[in-house]
Structure 1
Amino acid sequence: MGKGRMLQYDTAVDDCYKDGMPKWLSDEELASDDKKNYVVQESEWQKNDWLHLFTEIAFYSKTNNELTAPPPLEIEKVVVVTKEDTEEGHEKLKAHNAIFYVSYKYNGESSEWARDHKAVIRKTMDRKPGHIYLEVVAAE
């Protein structure tokens, strides 16, 4: 990333999204649906294909790209955390800077990966059209 782009990124993204990746939240934190956390409803993640894409990216990063076919993944829960203030909780899905806690299941043929999985996905944007940064860490 060039110096000019880095400066733009540095000023557009809140400092809390620049530190190390967060750890998986506790069950209590994941269950709280408040100003900071939003428990995404199943109907919402069904409508937002990009949540499935983020989950696939997390899965592929975990498997080191061993699987070549699109993985049959079933999202079980999504919690989004952002500092961006929104009137409605579901608006947090549109936040430029957010952290997604996704629990999902692999339902494919590879027995090595057939189990429940968790991922922490940090999405940051520098407000330039087409720019998005994703960081992913598998949580167990």
Structure 2
Amino acid sequence: MAWLIMEEEEVDGIPVNEFGRLEIGFDYGFDFTGIVTPPVSTDYDVTLYAKLGLYCYNFQKGTNLKFVRWEKYNTSTGTAYIDNYITLEAMDPSCNSVFSFQTVFSAAGCYNQDTYHVQDWRVLACRPTCGKSVNEYFDRHEAMDPFYTGKMPKWLSDDALAFDNKKYYVVQESDLHENDWLLVFMEMVFLQEKSCVSSSDHKAIIRKTMDGVPEHMSLEIALVK
């Protein structure tokens, strides 16, 4: 019996993972792109992507890390999706320590459903900076309940909004102060609307799902026309 053992090695000082590929992304540029540092015109977008990665980590780990600033990012456009490898500074308010943090934010495509325009945003990594490889495969079919992979739910009718308050909860200003992730979700809607539609009213349905893989999260946002 023969065994093939694939261990990490280095090529020109750059680590190679167990599949023989250079560990590019956070520290090494992709083809035709490079590492981007602030200031840039997309600073607001990158900040929002970084905050969403922190939210995913806090949600899964039960922590309360805060965003300080993003340091650099790198974009991979070699597939149908656009993946942003972001390095940022995060703070743990329990001890006021600031440390390096990594997240991968992916624009995983969009589609039209009835009168909705739906965008799928994904977090594919969120962790304190380390040399661990990123699992970029998000399983929407095998690992999830079919209820959460079908059509997006419909917007409540005017009658339901007026008379049936058991089907919804009106967010109070105090909720926004106590749960800053609500503001992140709202800003994701505004960011999507800015590039898709122009409207004075902001109506959106957000569906958050997980595929069971640590550091993974999907955020589907349906803009209601």
Task: Name the larger-Rg structure.
Answer: 2
TM norm structure 2: 0.33
The answer to which structure, 1 or 2, has the higher relative contact order (CA under 8 A, 6+ apart) is 1
- Structure 1 length normalisation: TM-score? 0.49
